[in-house]
Amino acid sequence: MPIDVLGDAAFGPHRFRDPALLAQALTHRSAGTPHNERLEFLGDALLGLFAAEALYVCWPKADEGVLTRARAELVRESSLATLARGFELGARLTLGPGEMKSGGHRRDSILSDALEAVVGAIYLDAGFEACRDVVRPWFGPLIEALHPAKVGKDAKTRLQEWLQARQAPLPQYELAWEGGEDHAKAFRVRCTLSQPPLSAEGEGGSRRAAEQQAAEAVLAQLDA
């Protein structure tokens, strides 16, 4: 469900009455003011609420601890960045010259922040119910991909357990790239297995986040 051209002031099923709100939501602080950080703050709270509501409905037998951990999975940086890529959000961002040069439109941290800002903009433009109607469906496929019994174990832990169960060597994590401005650093890490011979890369706003992404990518290969 890509965003229509910004001039149409549309985001998925929502058409903005105030196009300036969407423009601000897609403007990174490196491009000047008004930028999207205040909208990001608002959208972060709304996403947490909508994710919690979706989980409460979809998992009627899950206890509070499982629901809390699952909500964290749904609204974490990498999950939101994946959603943002599905909306082709990166191509719509307004970035400063430094961020454009360093590939900021592909960075998880910038994409997830922009998606939060868009949610905040929809709320201000049309109110709570309209915002909920747009955002709640985003979580359906993500919840289907989760399992209550596995929630809470991060990708690195799950990969390590998979290898240990097969008495295989543990993975190696190698920093492949580091860049970005001081306020928005980016890291790319390569995760490599010797048995079976596999490797994959992940990106994140910290080395730890990049390692988790790389481990997740390796697990996806193993599942396939």
Answer whether 218's CB lies under 8 Å from 202's CB: no
The answer to whether the annotation marks 113 as part of a ligand binding site is: yes
Task: Give the mean pLDDT of the chain.
Answer: 89
pLDDT in tens, 139-184: 988 898 887 766 767 889 889 999 999 999 999 999 999 987 777 7
Q: Which two tokens stand for residue 73?
A: 């999975």
Element (H, E) at 188: strand 186-194
- Residue 47 pLDDT > 90: yes
- Residue 126 pLDDT > 80: yes
The answer to whether the annotation marks 64 as part of a ligand binding site is: no
Spell out the domain ranges in the chain.
Answer: 6-145, 155-223
Of 2-11, 17-26, 76-85, the poorest mean pLDDT is in: 2-11
| Catalytic residue set | 44, 116
Q: Specify the pLDDT at position 150.
A: 65
Any idea which fold 155-223 has?
Answer: Double Stranded RNA Binding Domain (3.30.160)
* CA–CA dist 170, 113 (Å, integer): 33
More confident residue, 127 or 151: 127
The answer to whether the annotation marks 129 as part of a ligand binding site is: no
- Residue 115 pLDDT > 70: yes
DSSP annotation string for 68-85 = HHHHHHHHSHHHHHHHHH
6-145 domain in CATH 3.40.50.150? Answer: no
For the CA atoms of the chain, what is the radius of gyration? 18
